Chains A and B, each alone.
Chain A
Amino acid sequence: MKYAWIPVAVLATALGAGCATKKGFEVPGQAFGCPIGEQKIASMEDLVKAKVVTEGSRTTVVPTEMRCSRSGDLLRIDANLNNDSKTVKRVSYKFRWIDREGMRAWEEEAWKPLMVYDNSNLMVNTVAPTNKAADFRLILRSME
């Protein structure tokens, strides 16, 4: 009985280590609920970098946070756009949907115009148009 505390200590250490890492609760192949496949995503910045594409004119409006969940069998996405400049910015955005094989799961969406107030955040959200959409990209474009 002298060493009875050892298994308890080992278990506590293992549990503690599990809780300390951010990805301890993540489902494999997901980060913040978003599909990542084989990519190494260690932080929100990594996720945003992996999922956001800027096309055409560059914009100072940047996504800072992105989270995904499931609505039935459809992928649901929330993306926070931040404008930390001192002027109102106008951007357009669309989502690109990708299936499990890396092919387009849906036709190209229409660009949607958006106004983001100065020093403000704006949340854009969407739901995948089909359950074949296993991954996505958020495409941003300046309209200035």
Chain B
Amino acid sequence: MSSPRLYRLTLPLAAAALLAAGCAQQVTRYGDEKGVETVTNEFGSTDLQTIAESMARSMQTAPVIVSGNLPIVTVQEVRNRTSEYIDTRAITDSIRTELQKGGKVRFAVDQSGLKQQTSEIDRQQSGYYAREQSVDKGQMVGAQYRMEGNITSIVKQVRDTKDVYYKFSLQLWNIRNGLLEWSDEKEIRKTTTRG
């Protein structure tokens, strides 16, 4: 068999084999969204859920939350000081949701949502809406406390082992007097070994 003819036969066969192999292996299943995820040792869903739960539960027992009459909190930035991409907004959203559902805290619109909030008020004030049902300017309630934090990591790697340590810290600051009213940390260690 001549060489070009051999190629003509081999290439479609190889492509068909690859396709068949790909189709045979691919299986999609729904999983447990609350299950322990250890696919890689990068920041994952279990870390996010564990941190959010731990921080929200701890904050609920803070004296200013326990003694306050539904204190108003605004969420500020959680700085990502790790070497990987982490959506810190997803962490603060989960903390906020758990606290809101717990019914001990109210949340004021934060910086990221302020533009949408004020533009909606402006839209209602534009003259197109019934005056008595429109929201007046100057009615928004300012927060008493602001929540901010950091996430840092230490990564150590040798040939067959990679160790990742995360530290998430969150603080609750009194906006009026600048006092730190509550803070807590959550640490996570994950080690991956090959072989």
Contact = CB atoms under 8 A, between A and B. Distances in A.
A98 interface: no
Contacts of B66: 71-72
Interface string A60-87: 0000000000011010100000000000
Give the interface SS of chain B, mostly helix, strand, loop or mixed. helix
Interface string A123-144: 0001101110000000000010
Contacts of A131: 103
11 contacts: A71-B66, A74-B60, A76-B61, A108-B34, A109-B34, A111-B32, A111-B35, A111-B46, A127-B60, A130-B103, A131-B103
A129 B101 contact: yes
Contacts of A121: none
Interface of A: 71-72, 74, 76, 92, 94, 108-113, 126-127, 129-131, 143
Contacts of A72: 61, 66
Contacts of A92: 36
A123 to B, nearest CB: 14
Interface string B78-109: 00000000000000000000100111000000
Contacts of A110: 34, 46, 49-50, 53
B34 A111 contact: yes
Q: Lowest 9 CB-CB distances: which A-B pairs, in order?
A: A110-B49, A72-B66, A110-B34, A127-B57, A71-B61, A113-B36, A111-B36, A130-B102, A92-B36
Nearest to A112: B50
Contacts, number: 44
A28 B36 CA distance: 38
Given A110-B34, A130-B101, A74 B61 contact: yes
Contacts of A111: 32, 34-36, 46
A1 to B, nearest CB: 56
Contacts of A126: 57
Contacts of A108: 34
Nearest to A73: B66
A129 B36 contact: no
Given A112-B50, A129-B57, A129-B98, 20 more contacts: A71-B61, A72-B61, A74-B61, A76-B61, A108-B34, A110-B34, A110-B50, A110-B53, A111-B34, A111-B36, A112-B46, A112-B53, A113-B36, A126-B57, A127-B57, A127-B60, A129-B56, A129-B60, A130-B101, A143-B36
A85 B172 CA distance: 42
A76 B50 CA distance: 17
Interface in B108-139: none
A113 B46 contact: yes
B161 interface: no
A90 to B, nearest CB: 9
B58 interface: yes
